[in-house]
Structure 1
Amino acid sequence: MDPRDPAVPELLLHGQIDVTGRLVDASNATLFGTISADGVEAQCVYKPVRGERPLWDFPDGTLAGREVASFLVSEAAGFHVVPPTVLRPGPFGPGMVQIWVDTDDEREYVDVVAPKKVQQGWIGVLRARGDRGEPAVLAHADTPELRRMAAFDVVVNNADRKGGHVLAGTDGNLYGCDHGLTLHVEEKLRTVLWGFVGQALSADVVEALEKLRAGLDGGLAETIGEHVARREVRTLIARVDGLLAAGCYPEPSGHGPAIPWPAF
C-alpha cells in the first residue's frame, strides 16, 4: 500500500493489528505485522510503549509519542519525510503504529565508500578507517529531498539519524524512520547528514519552515503538546525561529557526538 494513500491514517487508527514478526536489530521492541479493516490490508510497524528501553536522557515511556509528534511536524511543514504514524492501543498495549515502507535497493542516499569512490553529486561527511585500517568516507547524496530531511532533523532535534533510517521508497519518495529520540529541550542533533553545514536553505525549505511556524501558532503546538512536554514544544518553536533567522544549515553544537553510533 502506498504510504501516502489517503486511506492510510484511518487504517492505522482503526485497523486490526496482527503481529507476524520482530525487527531484532532495533534497540526497543519493534514489531512487524499487518493491519486490516474493511477488506483493506497493509504492512505496519508497531512499537508498544512497554517495550521501550529506559534511557538516561529521555523520560520513560515517551518515545512513541515523540514519533507521532515528529510525524505531525513533518506533515505540517509539507516535508512528508515521515511515514504516517499514530498512537493507539495494540496487541501489547498502547504504542506507535506506522505504515511500512517498501524500499528500492537501487536508490541510495547514504553510504560508506573508499575516498576515490565518492560519487559525483555526493558530499563527504566523515573520514574514517575500516576494519582492516583501510580509508573510508561516510558520504550522502546532495538532493532536494535530503536537504528537506536535514532541515526537518534540525527542527525536531533528531538525536538518531542513522544512514539506515533514510529510506528510498519504492513509490519514488524519500522517508525517514525511528524518530523516538526527538524534540528534547537540550541540543541533541546527531545525524549522518552534516554535508549541508553552512549552506543556505533553499526557497522550498524556507517556505516549509514558514508554513510550520504558522501552524504552530494556529493550534499545532497544542496538538503536539498531547505527545511531548510543553517546554519541548516551546523549544521546537524556538528552533524553527532560529533556523529561519540563520537562513542556513547549522554546525554541530560541540556538546557531545555529532554522529550517531553506529552510523548505520
Structure 2
Amino acid sequence: MFFEAKEKGFFKVIDGYEEKHHRLYGYQSPYHEAAAFVVSELFGFGVVPPTFMRTLTLPGQLSPKLGSVQRYIEGQTPKQLATRKGIYIEPSKLMRIFDLLIGNVDRSEGNYVITKDNQQWAIDNAAAFQTSNSLKANLDDTAKGPELRDRISSMLSEHPLVLLRLKTTSDAQIKSALGMLLMPAQIKYLIARKNTLVSVAKQQRQSF
C-alpha cells in the first residue's frame, strides 16, 4: 500500500539520538507509528492511517532524515470539536481494545481524529509498545479487576472479527511483521497482552 500522488502526510523525524535510544530503551519513537499501523492491519482493527518508515530529504535541508510518514486524515480531533462545537467524543470501543493491545498510554484528546462519517483514526501512537503487561496487573487487582474484565469482554464481543484475529494470529506471524520496527522485548509484551485479551474473552464465555 502506497500513497497516491499529491496526498498529504505527516513526517515524524527520528534523529541519531532517538534512533540509538529507541533501539536500547524503546522510548517514544516514529518506529511505533509504523508498528501501530502494522498491528492495526494484522488484527483487523483498521484504525490507523497508512504509516511507513521512510528516508526523506526535507525542503531546505541537505541530508536525508529517517522517520515515519502517515497519511493525512481529513477530520477533527475531540479537542477541536470541544472547542468549536462544545461536544466531546470519547475513543470508540474498537480503539480502546487497540490501545490495550499495543500498550498505548497516551490516547489523549489530540491523538485521534474523527471524520465526517464518524470514523475514528488513531493518529499518534508514539507512546505505545510499553515493555510491561499492566493490563494483566489491572485485571488481577481484586478491587478493579472484575469490572475491567467485564468491560473488556463486552467490547470484544462487539468485534468478533478482531477477536478471531487475536485468537488465530501466531507468535511467529507477529514477530515476522514487527521484527524490523520493534525491539524483541516490545514484541514479547505485545504478544503477552494479546494472550491476556484472548484469555479474558475465553473466561467470560465459560462463566455463562
TM-score for the superposition, normalised by structure 2: 0.70
2:198 match:
244
2:120 match:
174
RMSD (Å) for aligned C-alpha atoms: 3.5
1:201 match:
155
Report the residue type matching 2:168 in the other structure.
A
Report the residue type matching 2:155 in the other structure.
L
Contact 1:160/1:181 (8 A) holds in 2: yes
In the TM superposition, residue 211 of structure 1 has moved relative to its aligned partner by 0.6
Report the residue type matching 1:222 in the other structure.
S
Contact 1:49/1:61 (8 A) holds in 2: no
Distance 1:175 1:169 in 2: 8
Distance 2:17 2:82 in 1: 30
1:32 match:
none
Report the residue type matching 1:10 in the other structure.
F
Distance 2:167 2:30 in 1: 23
In the TM superposition, residue 151 of structure 1 has moved relative to its aligned partner by 0.2
Change (3 A) 1:83 1:210: same
- Structure with the higher fraction of residues in helix conformation: 2
Distance 1:65 1:51 in 2: 13
Q: Which runs of 4+ in 1 moved over 4 A?
A: 51-56, 108-113
2:48 match:
82
Q: Higher relative CO (CA 8 A, sep ≥ 6), structure 1 or 2?
A: 2
Contact 1:110/1:166 (8 A) holds in 2: no
Distance 1:237 1:63 in 2: 20
Structure 2, unaligned runs of 5 or more: 58-63, 136-146, 203-208
1:98 match:
70
Matches within 5 A, 1:35-46: 40-46=5-11
Residue number among 120, 126, 129 corresponding to 1:183 in the alignment: 129
Contact 2:32/2:128 (8 A) holds in 1: yes
Distance 2:26 2:171 in 1: 28
Change (3 A) 1:90 1:62: farther
- Structure with the higher fraction of residues in strand conformation: 1
Distance 1:60 1:155 in 2: 17
Identity of matched residues, %? 21
